[in-house]
Amino acid sequence: MLITCWSVKGGAGVSVVSAALAGLLAERHGDALLVDLGGDQPGLLGLAEPSGDGVLDWCASRSGPDVLTRLVIDAAPDLRLLPRGDGPLSITADRAAELAMALSAMAPAVVIDAGVPLLAPADSTGLPTDEHPPGAYMRNCGSSLFVTRACYLSLRRARRVQVDADGVILLAEPGRALHSKDVAEILGLPIIGVVEVDPHVSTAVDAGSLVRRVPHTLARGLRRAG
């Protein structure tokens, strides 16, 4: 099982959703791997910042799957983390395929925090035309979950880039004019999880305990996601 969580705008909640989903799958399967392409997971999980290589360094090398396995660190009971590292932010399609195959063999459940993998044109300047961020490729491997708030600007951008995913995880905030049915209609995608914004989640994140005891609102909203 390979699940990639991503969005088109920062602040959508991708990292929190990815970590919580990985924690829930770790409980269910007894082993799960969380892949950090955004760089926020160590802080979110209450871990010290990794000092060694990470997944981006592996992508930039010619190393095999055995080296990738050695980069993994323990994050919580039954949950391991593959840190981001400091390598280049783009890879070729062939290397991305090798990455997806290697990750799929590392745990029965793999969750990828891809952050915002679709670069704006200005951010793509100077990149080879056959290279893209790893998350842009990973969206097309396994299951793809688009994480968003019912925010007009986010949904406008999603429409503009023609977001394609297996389903949507919606962070529901009080006071929003748009609801889950509106979001599904705008994106043309099914809503498979609605997570209510809850101060208990922020408390768990600040305490570094998010995956050790996933807050009820997150667990309930993500029950169909994995």
**Total structural domains in the chain?**
1
Its pTM stands at 0.92
Give the pLDDT score at 120.
Answer: 47
CATH of the domain at 177: 3.40.50.300
Give the pLDDT score at 129.
Answer: 56
Which portions of the chain are predicted below pLDDT 70?
119-130
- Which residue segment(s) compose the domain that 153 sits in? 4-221
37 is a domain residue: yes
For residue 175, how many other CB atoms are within 10 A of its CB?
Answer: 5
Give the pLDDT score at 119.
Answer: 53
Give the pLDDT score at 144.
Answer: 96
226 is a domain residue: no
The pLDDT tens digits of the residues spanning 95-143 come to 999 999 999 999 999 999 999 987 544 444 444 556 788 999 999 999 9
Long-range contacts at 49-55 (CB < 8 A, ≥ 24 apart): 50/83, 50/85, 52/83, 52/85, 53/85, 53/86, 53/87, 54/82, 54/83, 54/84, 54/85, 54/86, 54/87, 55/82, 55/83, 55/84, 55/85, 55/87, 55/99, 55/134
Nearest alpha-carbon partner for 197 in 182, 225, 175, 212: 175
